[in-house]
């Protein structure tokens, strides 16, 4: 699997140290909320012109790894 995680940064001076995209003020959490709310990758790229497709993929990959690290189930029973 290709990794895009290098695009996720944690800087205490940006967004209170929450994970963001490339030291920009786009919290990973916010991008994931847009996606969960029904926005598509294309919607986000049109809305936030300085983001790239790989940034969105990095957010998804970060979320997946976070879930795995917490040993939460990835499917509903």
* pLDDT tens column, 31-50: 999 999 999 999 999 999 99
The count of domains in the chain is 1
For the domain that residue 61 is a member of, what is the CATH number? 1.10.10.10
> CA distances (Å), 53 to each of 36, 72, 73, in order?
17, 27, 27
pLDDT at 61: 95
**Phi and psi torsions of 66, nearest 5°:** -65, -40
CA dihedral 9, 41, 44, 69 (to 10 degrees): -30
pTM: 0.84
Asked whether residue 24 is assigned to any structural domain, the reply reads yes
Mean pLDDT, range 5-33, rounded to an integer:
95
The percentage of the chain sitting over the pLDDT mark of 70, rounded to a whole number, equals: 90
Per the structure block, which two tokens stand in for 23? 């030291």
What pLDDT, on a 0 to 100 scale, did the predictor assign at position 69?
A: 77
Domain encompassing residue 40: 5-69
Q: Of 48, 60, 71, 74, which is closest to residue 7 (Cα–Cα)?
A: 60
């Amino acid at each position: 699997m290709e990794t895009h995680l290098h695009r996720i940064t944690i800087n205490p001076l940006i967004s209170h140290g929450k994970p963001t995209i490339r030291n920009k003020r786009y919290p990973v959490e916010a991008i994931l909320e847009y996606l969960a709310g029904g926005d598509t990758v294309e919607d986000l790229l049109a809305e936030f012109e300085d983001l790239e497709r790989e940034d969105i993929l990095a957010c998804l990959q970060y979320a997946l790894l976070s879930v795995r690290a917490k040993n939460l189930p990835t499917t509903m029973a």
